[in-house]
A and B are shown apart, each in its own frame.
Chain A
Amino acid sequence: MTSITPAFNLYESLKALPGDRRLLSCEQESVTAAELLERVEMLRQQAAPGDLVLHAGNPIAALTQMVALDGLARHVFLVPESLAESEDFTVLCERFSELCDVSEHEESVATHWILATSGTTGTPKLIVHDTASLTRSLKHNSERGADYRWGLVYEPFRFAGLQVLIQSLMAGSEVVICHQLAFSEQIACLSDAGINALSATPTFWRKVLFHGGLEGIDMRQVTLGGEPVDQTLLDALRRYFPQARITHIYAATETGVGFSVTDGYEGFPVDWLNTGVPADTGRVHLKVTADGTLALGFDQEDGAFIDTGDLIEQRGDRLVFIGRLSGAINVGGNKVMPEEVEQVIRRVPGVADVRVQGKGSSLVGQLVSCQIVPTSDAPEPALLKQAILETCRTALARFKVPALIGFTTELETNATGKLVRKSDG
């Protein structure tokens, strides 16, 4: 009989796993469930701090600490390396102290995990989770868990990375940690380790498709999240990994996981606006705000809806994500979403990937500008530009057609694997 009792405690989850189950590998180090439990038990014999700033550092050590602290510590600030190195870190530590002081006298058994958002505008915010909200949508079946070996290309202490790590703890799946490597080394590491499951951003998956290197893998689970997922990418992934189940997840550090979609289509069913999203642990309610963004409401919380800031648009019987409200380019009063133009440009042969952003214009406010990463067999720049313009003119309103087309060898991604767009004007 499979064990499906929800365990909202990382320590209890670990204890429930078969001891010989291999759990974590990172570079040369690897641990089984029994070995991890032994390390956790040693830590738990020491007096637990009430409040703690926990740095990622060595991922296996960090996860050991996290498991040891669950149910014992009050507030734990999980700090990924990229955050520790950023200018915001000092301010956030001060905010963490204030948060701890304010809730000093609260009675709570559940450990609070504090994460920072990746902060697209201004200073990142601190978000308070507990193990239940961090694991809201994760599965607990440790028999099936043995069938999966996950690659981790996200930072362990960012929300997406935590999802992979904790899921593996709860299901007893192995995780091959390689977020710290350069892209081509990650591919080699994942391939050598024989992973069969991977969670990454659409930008990362596009690089996988163009770079190659994972064809030999018996991929069983392809998970996407963090950026809008379009039908073209879903179809390309299905062709590339015919045996895989493909899931795209809508989640944010603020809200936790909103929902996941496994039907093979982009976006989500319009019907969910009426019925909410069916989930094992409470229904998630969906609403469209006056701005056209998606708002999420959770049964467990006070009933308030959280505005995600993500624009959605109806296409047929689906609602699709078209980009961040804050990411719109304004061309003489006309709004352009970078993602829409990028999707069109990706159809052009010779384009490996593209970034669209706004360029300041003294005359119309902003113009659409794009940077192209050409494929190795792309036509020469002048011809490629011509092809891009012709494709865009056919598919887009004229103010959306890129006014400026440049070439680059690589598109910058941020600490969470998402494409970075820098607009001015």
Chain B
Amino acid sequence: MSYRDKIIELLHEALVITESELCGELADTTPLLETGLDSLGFAILVARLEEELGFDPFVEMDEAVYPRVFGEFVAIYDQHYTSV
């Protein structure tokens, strides 16, 4: 099971909240900085995901890992699922 769909849904919500637009396709290889969300937008996305999923994987990390592309971002959430 992957959180991918939920992440995409809330990413679009964060784009609306911050009045940003999705720049092109959202693929695993799309760099986060090119999705249309800035740091505030991502903070909102992570907060909304925490509200809906019940966890914030970035808080729980022992070592800070910064996802560079969209696929890595999804993977961080999916890893949490498998490790629980």
Q: Which residues of A contact B (CB under 8 A)?
A: 331-332, 359, 361-364, 367, 389, 393, 398-399, 401, 403-404
The smallest C-beta distance from A375 to any residue of chain B, in angstroms, reads 23
Q: What is the interface of chain B, defined by CB distance below 8 A to chain A?
A: 16-19, 39-40, 42-44, 46-48, 51, 56, 58-59
Q: Are B47 and A361 in contact (CB under 8 A)?
A: yes
Is the Cβ of B19 less than 8 Å from the Cβ of A403? no
Nearest chain A CB to B80 CB, angstrom units: 13
A361 to B58, CA, bound (A): 10
In the docked arrangement, what's the CA distance between A262 and B17, Å? Answer: 40
In the bound complex, what is the Cα–Cα distance between A313 and B46 (angstroms)?
A: 33
Q: List A contacts of B39 (CB < 8 A).
A: 332, 363-364
Closest 6 CB pairs of A and B: A363-B43, A403-B44, A362-B58, A364-B43, A361-B43, A362-B59
CB distance from A334 to the nearest CB of B (A): 9
Are A404 and B48 within 8 A (Cβ)? Answer: yes
17 contacts between A and B (CB under 8 A): A332-B40, A361-B43, A361-B47, A362-B58, A363-B39, A364-B40, A364-B43, A367-B43, A389-B17, A398-B18, A399-B40, A401-B17, A401-B18, A403-B43, A403-B47, A404-B47, A404-B51
Which of A398, A399, A403 has its CB near the most chain B CB atoms (within 10 A)? Answer: A403
* 9 more CB-based (< 8 A) A-B contacts, given A361-B47, A367-B43, A404-B47: A331-B40, A332-B43, A362-B56, A367-B44, A389-B17, A399-B40, A401-B17, A403-B43, A404-B51
- The residues of B that contact A401 with a CB separation of less than 8 Å are 17-18
A393 to B16, CA, bound (A): 11
CB distance from A33 to the nearest CB of B (A): 58
Assembled-state Cα–Cα distance A361/B46 (Å): 8
Taken together as a complex, chains A and B put the C-alpha atoms of A96 and B48 apart, in Å, by: 48
Whole-angstrom CA separation of A393 from B44 in the bound complex: 15
Contact between chains at B17 and A363 (CB < 8 Å): no
Q: Give the docked Cα–Cα distance between A363 and B46 (Å).
A: 8
Residue of B19, B46, B48, B51 near A362 (CB, 8 A) is B46
A393 to B42: give the CA distance in the assembly, Å. Answer: 18
Measured CB to CB, the closest approach of chain B to A406, in angstroms, equals: 8
A362–B56 alpha-carbon span in the complex (Å): 8
What's the least CB distance linking A317 to chain B, in Å?
34
- The CA of A287 and the CA of B19, in the complex, are separated in Å by 41
Bound CA span A9–B27, Å: 78
Q: How far is the CB of B44 from chain A (nearest CB, A)?
A: 4
Chain B residues near A364: list those with CB within 8 A: 39-40, 43
Chain B hits for A393, CB < 8 A = 19
Nearest CB on B from A394, distance (A): 11
Q: How far is the CB of B10 from chain A (nearest CB, A)?
A: 11
- Tell me the bound Cα distance from A404 to B52 in angstroms: 11
Whole-angstrom CA separation of A393 from B18 in the bound complex: 8
Contact in complex: B42, A363 (CB < 8 Å): yes
Please, which residues of chain A bring their CB within 8 A of the CB of B48?
A: 403-404
A210 to B65, CA, bound (A): 49
Chain A residues in 8 Å Cβ range of B18 = 398, 401
The complex places the Cα of A401 from the Cα of B46 at a distance, in Å, of 16
Alpha-carbon gap, A419 to B64, bound state (A):
37
By a CB distance below 8 angstroms, the chain B residues around A367 are 43-44, 47
Residues of chain B with a CB closer than 8 A to A399's CB: 40
CA distance A424 to B43 in the complex (A): 15
The chain A residue sitting closest to B59, CB to CB, is: A362
- Chain B residues lying within 8 Å of A398, measured Cβ to Cβ, are 18-19, 40
Shortest distance in angstroms between B73's beta carbon and chain A's nearest beta carbon?
Answer: 12
Q: Tell me how far the C-beta of B45 lies from the nearest C-beta in chain A, rounded to whole angstroms.
A: 9
Residues on B with beta carbons closer than 8 Å to the beta carbon of A331 = 40
Closest CB in chain A relative to B54 CB, distance in Å: 14
With A and B bound together, what is the CA distance between A401 and B18 in angstroms? 8
The CA of A367 and the CA of B58, in the complex, are separated in Å by: 15
The smallest C-beta distance from A355 to any residue of chain B, in angstroms, reads 17
Chain A residue contacts of B58, Cβ below 8 A = 362-363
Distance between B46 CB and nearest chain A CB, rounded to angstroms? 6
Nearest A residue to B58 by beta-carbon distance?
A362
Looking at the assembled complex, report how far the CB atom of B19 sits from the nearest CB atom of chain A, in whole angstroms: 6
B13 to A: closest C-beta gap in Å: 10
* Nearest B residue (CB) for A369: B47
Inside 8 A of A403's CB, which chain B residues have their CB? 17, 43-44, 47-48
Residues of A within 8 A of B42 (CB): 363
Query: For residue B14, which residue of chain A has the nearest CB?
Result: A403
Residues on the A chain within 8 Å of B16, using CB:
389
Report Cα–Cα, A367/B19, bound state, in Å. 17
Closest chain A residue, CB of each to CB of B42: A363
Write the nearest CB–CB distance from B48 to chain A, whole angstroms.
7
